[in-house]
């Protein structure tokens, strides 16, 4: 018996394989930004249960509908909903054409950067600003405006484009669900055309799977060409009880999985979980004041109070962002 | 040289192959009920153009949206829209709970089978009957009612279930488009939940690809269980200019192909054709008084007048049912 029991070439191959193990493990992990916490375990257990052939909870792909809120669930929503920041920028841009806004709320508050006065206008004021800046033009023109702002605007805290302030773990979750035969939908209070301006590129969610607040619209002739003109009139407010209503109207099936982050998602989660068979509801809990923002029961934006109580009572997953997410944004280092 | 130049076994094989030719040809024909007329040629040329790799008109699958009207396009609509026949049956069924209907139009006309008085109530009367019989219950309950009627009701002329009075050539066309990467949508004046009661089974069109007239709805609690209650209030009339508006709201993409049969489809076809690149618009022309019904410019149901003029001016396909369709219904013999 000599010193070299194993030829060096075999040793080299074994060493190479050992080096490969972490790479292979990472390649097999569809959710690398999720720590091995309770939320990740609950998600994986649910997906196995409804997709495993022969599982008593098996659902065919046609039934695998997953719905996601957008603001605070797929991307950040502080210090204000990003679409509201867009609308405020548009109010300023369009102000020369609207001298009356100087003395008319909520526009005056926007023009004077009076956040206190603006907050006093509440949801009504917000909808007025959205309606005024999202209407009076064709769908194509609005799409171009939205994309122009998204391309140039930067977030006041991070200095990043808003479309980079999406949650890396949620991007992975969307992909993971799709690779398991789910169709992923957005069901959000955001205006539908604004979200469609980036949802396909950023989330891989095509326009027909984006559901949101809608304005009335009119089919009309514009110099011999038909256009669809957006009107300054709310057609559907896709918040709270409006979410299950729009899910039923547009999809016509009850989701198997619903993900939200605020009281505005409560009814969507309730509606999902009231269906028969195994279903899954979860909330993103903004616990990370370091990497993102920490807020819940007392926040004006994305208040999470009743839905947090419901989650506790019903056993819904509550994602502790600080503890369960390795990264928050794609640009974060681990 | 002998008499038998070819061995008999080879002759037998050749004979067998000759016999196989029509079988093979039919297997290769995705549209066997379409005669080789101008409409079929136009459809095949369009599909080749937008799906052929390297074609200047190539569209990726995500963009291949095809929209179809339902009444008169996918199934018959005489002597009255089938959903109106359902609504009238429901008025009679529910009459004991509504004594006031005896002296209230349009309900009185339905209860007295007074078709003249009913016709005088026009579109408004029709919508009232639809709203009254389609509301005041949960979506699930309405689905059950629709299915119960569809299963038991028979057409006054053919004696067939209504779901058998679908157009065989259109079923083939839906399959043909789907096998070429299209997503097929219904965009119809019919109420959306009524159409969803049979669209998946009959047309292979899933609920989320059915767009139609919608009623307002309310999310509410019913004995501790959330339900979506249908309200007797029109939310969207998916007819005429309402069609491109709902296409934009729900799909958020302009279709590549649109198929209709009446003036109520005119704007949907215009909107489709006003998009860039190669697109396709067609009308089913009810020319077959033998196998189906013959009607166009002067019909109260499915009037085809302005859209027929537009088709002539714009070069849209007009399907001559009598000449171009080998079969009308699946139960027809060739």
- Nearest chain B Cα distance for residue A10, angstroms: 48
Residue A27 lies inside a defined structural domain of this protein: no
> In 3D, which of A262, A250, A183, A185 has the Cα closest to residue A214?
A250
Cα dihedral B85, B88, B93, B96, rounded to 10, equals 180
Instruction: Among A104-118, A262-276, B301-315, name the one with the lowest average pLDDT.
Output: A104-118
CB contact under 8 A, A245 and B206: no
Mean pLDDT, residues A234-243: 96
Q: Which of B196, B218, B219 lies closest to A252 in CB terms?
A: B196
What CA–CA distance (Å, rounded) separates B163 from B198?
8
Residue A44 lies inside a defined structural domain of this protein: yes
Residue B175 lies inside a defined structural domain of this protein: yes
What CA–CA distance (Å, rounded) separates B319 from B284?
5
Count interface pairs A-B at CB distance under 8 A. Answer: 77
In this predicted model, what pLDDT tens digit does every residue of B125-169 receive, in sequence order? Answer: 888 898 899 999 999 999 999 999 999 999 999 999 999 999 999
ipTM: 0.89
* pLDDT value for A1: 43
CB contact under 8 A, A210 and B252: yes
Measured between CB atoms, does A61 come within 8 Å of chain B?
no
* pLDDT value for B27: 54
Q: Checking DSSP bridges between strand B225-236 and strand B210-222, what pairing results, if any?
A: antiparallel
Q: Which is it for the CA torsion A40, A167, A87, A139, positive or negative?
A: negative
Strands lying side by side in the sheet with B183-191: B225-236, B210-222, B183-191, B65-68, B257-260, B280-285, B317-320
* pLDDT value for A19: 62
- Nearest chain A Cα distance for residue B113, angstroms: 33
Give the percent of chain A with pLDDT over 70: 92
Mean pLDDT of chain A: 93
Q: Which of B214, B270, B274 lies closest to A249 in CB terms?
A: B214
Report yes or no: A18 and A296 within 8 Å, Cβ to Cβ.
Answer: no
The residues of chain B scoring below 70 in pLDDT are 1-27
Name the closest residue on chain B to residue A224, using Cα atoms.
B274
Residue B159 lies inside a defined structural domain of this protein: no
Residue of B252, B268, B272, B275 to mutate when probing chain A, most A C-beta within 10 A = B252
Residue A314 lies inside a defined structural domain of this protein: yes
Name the closest residue on chain A to residue B224, using Cα atoms.
A274
Please report, for the domain that includes residue B246, its CATH number.
3.40.50.1000
Report yes or no: B228 and B237 within 8 Å, Cβ to Cβ.
Answer: no
Q: Quote the domain boundaries for residue B74.
A: 38-79+164-324
Number of H helices, E strands in chain A: 13, 7
Q: How far apart are the first and last CA of chain B?
A: 48
Degrees (nearest 5) of the Cα angle B37, B41, B47? 150
What CA–CA distance (Å, rounded) separates A149 from A89?
9
Q: Which is it for the CA torsion B75, B78, B81, B83, positive or negative?
A: negative
Measured between CB atoms, does A253 come within 8 Å of chain B?
yes
**With contacts defined as CB-CB under 8 Å, which chain B residues touch A271?**
219, 226, 228
Q: Which of A207, A217, A271 lies closest to B253 in CB terms?
A: A207
> In 3D, which of A168, A154, A227, A216 has the Cα closest to residue A191?
A216
CB contact under 8 A, A244 and B226: yes
Task: Please tell me the total count of domains within chain A.
Answer: 1
Q: Where are the alpha helices (DSSP H) in B29-114?
A: 38-51, 82-94, 107-111
B57 prior amide bond cis, ω within 30: no
Residue A253 lies inside a defined structural domain of this protein: yes
* pLDDT value for B124: 86
Report yes or no: B70 and B186 within 8 Å, Cβ to Cβ.
Answer: yes
pLDDT higher than 50, residue A324: yes
Name the closest residue on chain A to residue B211, using Cα atoms.
A250
* pLDDT value for A177: 98
Measured between CB atoms, does B197 come within 8 Å of chain A?
no
- Write down the pTM of the prediction: 0.90
Cα dist. A108→A112, A114, A181, A330, B153 in Å?
6, 8, 49, 37, 61
- Nearest chain A Cα distance for residue B229, angstroms: 9
Measured between CB atoms, does B201 come within 8 Å of chain A?
no
Burial of A100 (0-12, 13-18, 19+ CB in 10 A): exposed
Measured between CB atoms, does A119 come within 8 Å of chain B?
no
Residue A229 lies inside a defined structural domain of this protein: yes
Mean pLDDT, residues A117-142: 90
Q: Which is it for the CA torsion A47, A53, A55, A57, positive or negative?
A: positive
* pLDDT value for B56: 95
Measured between CB atoms, does B210 come within 8 Å of chain A?
yes
**With contacts defined as CB-CB under 8 Å, which chain B residues touch A270?**
226
* pLDDT value for B121: 87
More confident residue, A14 or A260: A260
b/e burial code for range A185-205 (CB count within 10 A of at least 16 → b): bbbbbbbbbbbbbbbbebbeb
- Nearest chain A Cα distance for residue B164, angstroms: 24
CB contact under 8 A, A244 and B225: no
b/e burial code for range B172-182 (CB count within 10 A of at least 16 → b): bbbebbeeeeb
* pLDDT value for B46: 98
* pLDDT value for B24: 52
Name the closest residue on chain A to residue B209, using Cα atoms.
A251
CB contact under 8 A, A248 and B217: yes
Cα dist. B299→B74, B121, B305 in Å?
18, 16, 9
In this predicted model, what pLDDT tens digit does every residue of A61-76 receive, in sequence order? Answer: 999 999 999 999 999 9
**With contacts defined as CB-CB under 8 Å, which chain B residues touch A250?**
208, 250
Q: Which of A62, A192, A226 lies closest to B271 in CB terms?
A: A226
- Give the DSSP letter string of B183-200: EEEEEEEEEHHHHHHHHH
pLDDT higher than 50, residue A256: yes
Cα dist. A25→A13, A38, B35 in Å?
18, 20, 58
Residue A102 lies inside a defined structural domain of this protein: no
């Amino acid at each position: 018996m000599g010193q070299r029991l194993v030829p060096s070439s075999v040793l080299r191959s074994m060493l190479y394989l050992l080096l490969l193990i972490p790479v292979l493990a990472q390649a097999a992990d569809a959710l690398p930004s999720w720590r091995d916490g309770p939320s990740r375990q609950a998600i994986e257990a649910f997906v196995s249960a409804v997709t495993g052939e022969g599982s008593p909870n098996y659902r065919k792909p046609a039934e695998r509908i997953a719905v996601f809120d957008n603001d605070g669930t797929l991307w950040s929503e502080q210090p204000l909903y990003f679409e509201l920041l867009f609308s405020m920028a548009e109010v300023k841009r369009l102000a020369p054409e609207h001298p009356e806004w100087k003395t008319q709320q909520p526009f005056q508050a926007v023009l004077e950067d009076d956040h206190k006065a603006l907050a006093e206008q509440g949801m009504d004021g917000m909808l007025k600003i959205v309606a005024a800046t999202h209407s009076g033009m064709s769908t194509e023109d609005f799409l171009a405006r939205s994309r122009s702002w998204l391309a140039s605007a930067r977030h006041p805290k991070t200095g990043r484009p808003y479309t980079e302030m999406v949650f890396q773990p949620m991007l992975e979750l969307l992909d993971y669900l799709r690779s398991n035969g789910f169709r992923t939908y957005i069901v959000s209070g955001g205006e539908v055309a604004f979200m469609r301006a980036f949802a396909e590129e950023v989330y891989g969610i095509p326009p027909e799977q984006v559901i949101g607040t809608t304005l009335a619209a009119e089919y009309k002739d514009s110099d011999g060409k038909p256009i669809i003109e957006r009107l300054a009139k709310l057609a559907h407010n896709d918040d709270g009880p409006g979410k299950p209503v729009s899910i039923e109207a547009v999809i016509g099936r009850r989701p198997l999985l619903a993900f939200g982050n605020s009281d505005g998602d409560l009814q969507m989660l309730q509606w999902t979980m009231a269906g028969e068979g195994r279903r899954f509801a979860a909330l993103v809990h903004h616990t990370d004041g370091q990497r993102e923002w920490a807020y819940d029961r007392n926040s004006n934006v994305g208040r999470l109070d009743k839905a947090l109580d419901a989650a506790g009572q019903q056993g819904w997953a509550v994602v502790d962002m600080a503890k369960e997410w390795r990264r928050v944004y794609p640009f974060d280092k681990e």
